[in-house]
């Protein structure tokens, strides 16, 4: 892909996306290698947005930037595979929460280990000072880019 033909350099969004894509790819590979080989990239993107206490389907769809129908379809697949469960919302008897099931927690543990390995590799490459600085800068940028913090 190289540099942008317009300005001779890539924009910050692309520069943030490339390592995010690499992290996502490596985590999904590690999860599959650990025996959770039935999780797709799309399912993983929804699964990672489920809070520990559970999350409403509408919130999952919004955070994953997919339609409610798409989120419902993906959650249905994850539920049939034993990664999530739907439970009553204790704050609203009419609503249901999607919660991570035991199999999903096991897959997420593998994912978190893989994330830590990738971050350690990146830290070795960048050096602690630059890696810490990058984390601070991206955390600050999140203030104006992440409506779900």
- Burial label for 139, CB within 10 Å (0-12, 13-18, 19+), is exposed
Q: pTM (2 decimals)?
A: 0.86
What is the per-residue pLDDT across 72-119, written as a single tens digit (0 to 9) for each?
Answer: 999 999 999 999 999 999 998 888 999 999 999 999 999 999 999 999
Question: Cβ neighbours of residue 77 under 8 Å, at least 6 residues apart?
Answer: 40, 43
The domain that holds 131 is classified in CATH as 1.10.10.10
What is the per-residue pLDDT across 27-71, written as a single tens digit (0 to 9) for each?
Answer: 999 999 999 999 999 999 999 999 989 999 999 999 999 999 999
In a domain, 140, yes or no: yes
**Total number of domains constituting the chain:** 1
In a domain, 44, yes or no: yes
Q: How far is CA 59 from CA 7, 63, 93, 116, in A?
A: 37, 6, 17, 27
In a domain, 2, yes or no: no
Instruction: Decide which of 7 and 73 is more confident.
Output: 73
DSSP 8-state class, residue 52: T
In a domain, 64, yes or no: yes
In a domain, 68, yes or no: yes
Its domain, for residue 139, covers 12-145
Tokens 């990738």 identify what position? 118
Angle at 75 between CA 111 and CA 19, to 5 degrees: 35
In a domain, 6, yes or no: no
In a domain, 3, yes or no: no
In a domain, 79, yes or no: yes
């Amino acid at each position: 892909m190289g540099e942008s033909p317009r300005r001779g350099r890539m924009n910050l969004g692309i520069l943030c996306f490339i390592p995010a894509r690499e992290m996502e790819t490596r985590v999904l590979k590690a999860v599959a290698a650990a025996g959770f080989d039935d999780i797709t990239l799309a399912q993983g993107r929804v699964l990672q947005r489920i809070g520990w206490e559970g999350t409403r389907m509408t919130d999952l769809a919004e955070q994953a930037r997919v339609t409610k129908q798409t989120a419902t379809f993906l959650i249905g697949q994850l539920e049939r595979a034993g990664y999530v469960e739907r439970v009553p919302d204790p704050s609203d008897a009419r609503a249901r929460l999607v919660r991570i099931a035991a199999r999903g927690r096991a897959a997420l543990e593998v994912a978190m280990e893989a994330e830590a390995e990738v971050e350690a590799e990146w830290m070795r490459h960048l050096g602690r000072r630059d890696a810490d600085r990058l984390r601070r800068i991206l955390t600050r940028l999140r203030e104006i880019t992440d409506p779900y913090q």
